[in-house]
Structure 1
Amino acid sequence: MFTIGDFARLGRVSVRMLRHYDSIGLLRPASVDVHTGYRFYRADQLRRLNRVIALKDLGLTLEQVRAILDDAVDVAELRGMLRLRRSQLTAQLAADTARLAAVEARLRMIESEGLMTTQDVVLKEIAPVRVAELTAVAPSYASQDIGPVIQPLYPELFRRLTEAGITPTGPAIAWYEPAADGDGDAVVVHAGVTVGAGVSAVPDLAVRELPAVGTAATIVHHGAMDDVEQSIEVLARWIEENGYRTDGFAREVYLEYCPDAPEQGVTELQLTVDRA
């Protein structure tokens, strides 16, 4: 099982939100340590979490969401509700575009449940790699918070490399870590790209050695990163079924980086794991 912090990162929600969902009976932890009060969650609870977020994004209150889920709404009904809300969102102001994308991503993930299996997961060692990087801080690890922060970093990163006359030698790589300050949900977003071993400095860019990972559970995600939750869920199930644990932060290696056609992207997700 996963701690509340690890489960929050896997579900791309805040710890504060999970605690609230527990307090109102919307998403109870699988178990609570009687001595410490620590909450623990199972991988299969990501399915209920994804439905909660999808229905909440429809504009329903949390009480309405709980009533619908406790009544065992099926995928067909949920699909119909999401599509109705999609029609409404497209008629609203451009500021609602991000919400619409989030609803559609959750819908695709729910519809694809069962299509990807844990057989797609590969356990392997990750070699160290030298990268040039730009960083920024996102308010949380949720997809809707990460996207607007990381997307402008890569064009600027490649522009500065071009000005310095440096050609990348491998794929772009993104990784994340908790921010040193903030309310506990903020994360530092690292947008990097592989450069040659001889590159030690680049004007206006940080150059660093991204350390090796002794054991990583990996899966190749096809399509836009808006839909990454379905691949994360498969990784979470594999980790739980095989007796591993992880901190929930996935390293993203963009094997096919397609900023103008994100649906054509190919990304390897790498979660550092060790034995529980």
Structure 2
Amino acid sequence: MGARVSIGDFAVMTSLSRKALRHYHDIGILEPAHIDSHTGYRFYDTGQVDSAHIIRRFRSLGMSIPDIKALLSTDDAAARTEIITTHLEQMEEQLQQTRDAVGALRELLAPVRTPAHVELRHEPALAVWSIGATIEVSEIDGWFGATLGRLRDAVAAAAIAPSWVVPGGLYDRALFLESRGRATLFVAAPPSADPPDGVRAEVLPQAEFAVLTHSGGHDGIDRSYGALGIHVNEHLISDQGPIREHYIGSTPSDPYGFTATEICWPIFSTTPPRG
């Protein structure tokens, strides 16, 4: 045991305010060494200074109260190391998220530029297997993963090599305008096979598109959409049909690891339709 000190002196030694010390007392992670039964004054022991510094430092670094409590309540070095290591990993992840956000914000300072290459493409009618739903924009990531898995399972059951499958998506304008609308994922229909329950066989009609390839994952795809939309509306005639996407670069071992997304913006063609 060290010397008993008043809450005022303890606050000076630890840089913890009276309010903070009372809060930590109430939640049971730093209790006073003694409370005067007549005055209610709190007194601390100088041996508690190190614990107070740990609490203050880790709270400033965002560690949760339960984790701090666990850290202070164990003498097991391995357990302490695990708690601290886990928190450091969380901080590193948050730091990377912050760096990504800063990079995205800096990019926003530059105007959306006309893409270097926009391809005009005629897509012929295509027999597909598809799964569609009316969803909220906030649901789209979970829906996408689950639906793509169902389509891949359906194709695999039809004995078609997974490497042949290049999935695509159709997204109604309402999803962008109202944050709720129809979304459909599709794959080219396997030959001479009937789709399983829950999977629809249909034919996508032929259409004309302006196509821009967005490299990488989904991050920053809004900028690619903006650039393609500017090009279409400044140089072509935009059609109000659904936006079409093709997901490129996945492999059987990494079916969700797309390396690029083709964004297909429907346009009115000034040339006669082919075949």
How does the TM-score come out when normalised to structure 2?
0.52
Q: Is the 8 A contact 2:217 2:259 kept in 1?
A: yes
Is 1:124 equivalent to 2:121 in the alignment?
yes
Q: Does the C-alpha gap of structure 1 residues 194 and 104 become closer, same or farther in structure 2, counting only changes over 3 Å?
A: farther
Is 1:134 equivalent to 2:138 in the alignment?
no
Q: Secondary structure of 2:143's partner?
A: helix
Larger radius of gyration: 2
Is 1:149 equivalent to 2:153 in the alignment?
no
Q: 1:127-276 alignment to 2 at 5 Å?
A: 127-140=124-137, 144-167=138-161, 169-177=164-172, 184-213=178-207, 215-247=208-240, 249-257=242-250, 265-274=259-268
Partner in structure 2 of residue 110 of structure 1: 108
Q: Does the C-alpha gap of structure 1 residues 89 and 152 become closer, same or farther in structure 2, counting only changes over 3 Å?
A: same
- Structure 2: where are the runs of 5+ without partners? 1-90, 271-275
Q: Is the 8 A contact 1:170 1:195 kept in 2?
A: no
- TM-superposed deviation, 1:261: 9.1
Q: Is the 8 A contact 2:247 2:258 kept in 1?
A: no
- Give the structure, 1 or 2, with the largest relative contact order (CA under 8 Å, sep 6 or more): 1
Give the Cα separation in 1 of the matches to 2:161 and 2:256. Answer: 23
Q: Is the 8 A contact 2:172 2:241 kept in 1?
A: no
Give the Cα separation in 1 of the matches to 2:218 and 2:148. Answer: 15
- Structure 1: where are the runs of 5+ without partners? 1-86, 92-96
Q: Secondary structure of 2:219's partner?
A: helix
- TM-superposed deviation, 1:269: 0.9
RMSD over aligned Cα atoms = 3.9
Q: Is the 8 A contact 2:249 2:257 kept in 1?
A: no
* Matched-pair identity in %: 18
- TM-superposed deviation, 1:200: 4.5
Q: Secondary structure of 1:236's partner?
A: helix
Aligned length: 176
Give the Cα separation in 1 of the matches to 2:182 and 2:233. Answer: 26
Partner in structure 2 of residue 90 of structure 1: 94
- TM-superposed deviation, 1:243: 4.2
After superposition, what is the alpha-carbon deviation per residue over 1:217-274, rounded to whole angstroms, capped at 9, x for unaligned?
1011101123211111111110122142233742111121379597752121101012
- TM-superposed deviation, 1:275: 7.2
Q: Secondary structure of 1:226's partner?
A: coil
Q: What letter matches 1:242 in structure 2?
A: H
Q: What letter matches 2:221 in structure 1?
A: V
Q: What letter matches 1:198 in structure 2?
A: S
Give the Cα separation in 1 of the matches to 2:148 and 2:155. Answer: 11
- TM-superposed deviation, 1:135: 2.1
Q: What letter matches 1:201 in structure 2?
A: P
Q: Does the C-alpha gap of structure 1 residues 234 and 179 become closer, same or farther in structure 2, counting only changes over 3 Å?
A: closer
